[in-house]
Amino acid sequence: MAALLAMAACGSSREQQRLARPRPIFSPNGEILSSGAKGAPRCREALGQWWDHLAAAHQGVIDKPVFLADADAQFAAMDLDNDGFITPSELSEYRAGLDEQAGEPTLPPGVTEPVQSAAIDPGQTRRSRRNGADSGLLDRPRTNGGQIPPDLVDPVMSADKSLSFKVSKADFMAQAVDVFADLDKAHQGRLTRDALLAGCPEA
């Protein structure tokens, strides 16, 4: 009995450690908005800033064409070699590049540390990646050297429905269509800020 209790306590401790790890916050189109580390923007703040930025550029509306244009731009930013596919290694390289833009050293896989971070400006991120120059933002979401927690479903590679270990643009855009439909619960053809933030955990 004592052994069973000890094993249960050990399992519980591991689960608590897993839940305590920084968990990145992504936009609906797979863009990292916050590292999830201590002091970084939480879900509602990070997603709210993403919504505000995108909506402000489109008269306060995020409809399906706007949402898919954002997905298209995000795919272009992640497709570093412009071959029409995103591979796991390419995605890690892209995310590691966000750390480099932050002016911070990347960490080995599995190593994390609390950092202060702000939500990223999606437009400036893409411009800096394409132009090969720093956008001037001082705070970037840290991604742990291009890594995300192994128990977290990657919102980019999840588009690889054929399990080919690469995501084509068609795969990614098809997933964006599904994501939009899921978020547009009222079937109005556009998203609302409140509906988007409703998916965030309370804590």
125-151: pLDDT as tens digits: 444 444 443 333 334 566 665 567 788
- Report if residue 6 sits inside a domain: no
**Average model confidence (pLDDT) for the chain?**
77
- Is the full-model pTM beyond 0.75? no
- Report if residue 4 sits inside a domain: no
Count up the domains in the chain and report the number: 1
Question: What's the confidence (pLDDT) of residue 20?
Answer: 54
- Report if residue 12 sits inside a domain: no
Domain holding 180, by residue range, is 23-197
Backbone dihedral region of 81: left (phi > 0), alpha (psi from -120 to 50 degrees) or beta? alpha
- Report if residue 30 sits inside a domain: yes
pLDDT digits (tens, 9 = 90+) for 76-108: 999 999 999 999 999 999 998 887 665 544 444
Question: What's the confidence (pLDDT) of residue 121?
Answer: 44
Q: How far is CA 160 from the centre of its chain?
A: 16
- Report if residue 159 sits inside a domain: yes
- Report if residue 17 sits inside a domain: no
